[in-house]
């Protein structure tokens, strides 16, 4: 690959932007050339092979060491991220904690071993005649490309869940740093790489590249076996097009776009409308509305109780000032989408804050309103930022009909009272095929990282049946491998007769470890 290119390689120095001021400062980072990216991928692949000689517990120890490194570098990382993202130190400290927690949770899962799905069918007579012995477990796919997101500089970036889950599965990882927080990415990477080296991991097991072109090189590279991506629908589509052109397709796990509808029932509006208005306002403006789980569309009943909810949200939005966005692209896109929604003429503007003057990137909370019967697809669009579309409805049938124009999402939320169970059950039946998580009497933001969590959903939320958050996220970077009549000594330890300390299914019966 290096010898095939004839383009002279220019060194492009990358800059880091402070979104609060728009000030750009040069970094000592340069855009990774195609040749350099190839070297990084090959090193990762070699490291993957070298690390394969280590057992599961070694890997769990590595994950713990990476968690410790994140905690140890917390202040430095938070300072860099605050400068590059404007998200504030409280949020960012929490996010580093969440990231190290993720590594430790995967370490726990790796030690427990159930994720391997170890399954043994002994040989012998069967209803179809004599059969060989089959033993199967999940094994790593190899080297994985991980694209950091803009909105989580830690938990969905270099030190994020894709990295942790890919490493937990026994893979090597090559990261594509997000252009919006290059310094944070470089410092996160340095912390992880240093800890991995100190732990004795093979050089290159975690690699990194910078720049859009290097990202494309990764996705097209024959040694990359899977891609983890959290970002925009357009960005994801562009990478999927690259994958479609590969001679050998690979899985693309994209977490792309989500509107996250929320329904407030008449009962809920009557009993606790004020609290819901406050909670919903907090949720759609959290982190300047820059969450993939942000509730972007809220169905509110017509009538006085619903009016009060809407008025309270609009008032809070009207009083709020502008808050900083992650980068100029998001700020421009937010303005465009907000203006486009308003230009449809089918929404009423209940609150429209004004972005700060000046060179920074900001947006102010915006609340639009329409009715269920007039809701159209051009209003049911994700606006990344603090924007909420309120949809007033008279009865549940209107909500159900309106859902036809709402894109499938990561989540749906229902606020209701116990007396409304039948109606809520009908709503849940509507939402179930359309989302990956249904939230009751809460808010979709503030995603719990745990064993049961599922962060995924039908297209365009994601393009897969897998989760990018929680323990099951590791499944994306594993593949099954079966052994037929293998001599015991040639089996992976987890498939040998004496390895009884992990959950395994033997002759169809699940056994605890």
Q: For residues 409-468, which are near its own copies according to CB under 8 A?
A: 418, 421, 424-425, 428-429, 432-433, 435-442, 448-454, 456, 458-460, 463-467
Element (H, E) at 108: helix 89-112
Q: Can residue 161 be called a binding residue for its own copies (CB under 8 A)? A: no
The rounded distance, in Å, linking the Cα atoms of 386 and 24 is 25
Contacting its own copies (CB under 8 A), which of 26, 125, 249, 345? 249
- Unique residue bearing structure tokens 């919903």: 280
Q: Can residue 141 be called a binding residue for its own copies (CB under 8 A)? A: yes
Measured from the Cβ of residue 425, the count of other Cβ atoms closer than 10 Å reads: 9
Q: Which two tokens stand for residue 301?
A: 């009943």
The rounded distance, in Å, linking the Cα atoms of 315 and 445 is 22
The count of chain residues that interact with its own copies, using the rule CB under 8 A, is 82
Q: Is 357 exposed, middle or buried (0-12, 13-18, 19+ CB in 10 A)?
A: exposed
The rounded distance, in Å, linking the Cα atoms of 408 and 405 is 9
274 catalytic? Reply is no
Segment contacting its own copies by CB under 8 A, of 30-38, 156-164, 380-388, 500-508: 500-508
Q: Can residue 240 be called a binding residue for its own copies (CB under 8 A)? A: yes
Contacting its own copies (CB under 8 A), which of 142, 160, 296, 306? 142
Q: Can residue 357 be called a binding residue for its own copies (CB under 8 A)? A: no
CB of 4 to its own copies, least distance (A): 18
Closest CA relative to residue 184, chosen from 323, 76, 326: 76
CB of 363 to its own copies, least distance (A): 27
CB of 421 to its own copies, least distance (A): 6
Instruction: Give the side-chain half-sphere CA count within 13 A for 288.
Output: 27
The rounded distance, in Å, linking the Cα atoms of 210 and 32 is 5
Contacting its own copies (CB under 8 A), which of 135, 178, 312, 392? 135
| β-bridge mates for residue 176, sequence order | 147, 209
Q: Can residue 248 be called a binding residue for its own copies (CB under 8 A)? A: yes
CB of 11 to its own copies, least distance (A): 34
3-class DSSP state of 24 = strand
292 catalytic? Reply is yes
Binding mask 77-106 for its own copies (x = CB under 8 A): -----------------x--xx--x-----
CB of 506 to its own copies, least distance (A): 9
Angle at 481 between CA 65 and CA 457, to 5 degrees: 70
Active-site pick, 84, 95, 183, 292 = 292
Q: Can residue 503 be called a binding residue for its own copies (CB under 8 A)? A: yes
Q: Which residues are catalytic?
A: 255, 292
């Amino acid at each position: 690959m290096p010898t095939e290119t004839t383009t002279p390689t220019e060194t492009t120095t990358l800059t880091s932007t402070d979104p609060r001021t728009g000030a750009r400062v040069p970094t000592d980072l340069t855009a990774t050339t195609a040749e350099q990216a190839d070297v990084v991928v090959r090193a990762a692949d070699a490291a993957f092979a070298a690390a394969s000689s280590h057992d599961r517990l070694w890997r769990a120890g590595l994950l713990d060491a990476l968690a410790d490194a994140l905690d140890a570098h917390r202040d430095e990382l938070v300072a860099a991220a605050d400068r590059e993202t404007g998200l504030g130190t409280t949020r960012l400290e929490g996010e580093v904690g969440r990231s190290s927690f993720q590594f430790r949770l995967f370490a726990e899962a790796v030690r427990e071993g159930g994720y391997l799905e170890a399954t043994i069918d002994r040989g012998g007579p069967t209803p179809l005649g004599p059969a060989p012995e089959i033993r199967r477990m999940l094994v790593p796919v190899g080297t994985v490309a991980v694209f950091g997101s803009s909105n989580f500089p830690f938990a969905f970036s270099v030190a994020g869940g894709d990295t942790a889950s890919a490493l937990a599965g026994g893979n090597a990882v090559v990261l594509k740093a997000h252009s919006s927080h290059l310094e944070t990415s470089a410092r996160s990477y340095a912390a992880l790489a240093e800890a991995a080296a100190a732990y004795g991991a093979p050089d290159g097991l975690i690699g990194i590249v910078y720049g859009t072109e290097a990202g494309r090189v990764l996705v097209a590279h024959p040694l990359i076996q899977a891609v983890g991506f959290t970002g925009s629908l357009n960005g994801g589509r562009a990478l999927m097009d690259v994958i479609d052109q590969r001679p050998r397709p690979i899985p693309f796990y994209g977490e792309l776009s989500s509107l996250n509808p929320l329904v407030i029932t008449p009962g809920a509006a009557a009993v606790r409308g004020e609290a819901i208005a406050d909670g919903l306002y907090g949720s759609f403006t959290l982190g300047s509305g820059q969450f993939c789980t942000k509730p972007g569309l809220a169905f509110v009943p017509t009538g006085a109780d619903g009016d009060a909810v809407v008025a309270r949200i609009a008032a809070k939005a009207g009083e709020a000032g502008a808050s900083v966005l992650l980068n100029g692209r998001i700020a421009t896109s937010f303005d465009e989408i907000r203006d486009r929604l308003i230009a449809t003429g089918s929404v009423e503007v209940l609150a429209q804050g004004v972005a700060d003057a000046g060179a920074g990137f900001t947006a102010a909370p915006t609340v639009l309103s329409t009715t269920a019967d007039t809701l159209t697809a051009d209003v049911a669009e994700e606006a990344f930022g603090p924007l909420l579309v309120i949809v007033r409805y008279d009865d549940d049938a209107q909500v159900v009909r309106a859902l036809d124009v709402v894109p499938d999402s990561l989540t749906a939320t229902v606020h209701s009272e116990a007396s409304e169970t039948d109606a809520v059950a009908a709503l849940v039946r509507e939402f179930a095929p359309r989302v990956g998580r249904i939230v009751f009497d809460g808010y979709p933001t503030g995603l719990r990282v745990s064993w049961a969590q599922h962060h995924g959903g039908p297209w365009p939320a994601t393009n897969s049946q897998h989760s990018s958050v929680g323990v099951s996220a590791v499944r994306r970077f594993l593949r099954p491998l079966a052994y037929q009549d293998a001599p015991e000594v040639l089996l992976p330890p987890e498939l040998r007769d004496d390895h009884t300390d992990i959950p395994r299914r033997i002759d169809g019966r699940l056994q605890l470890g």
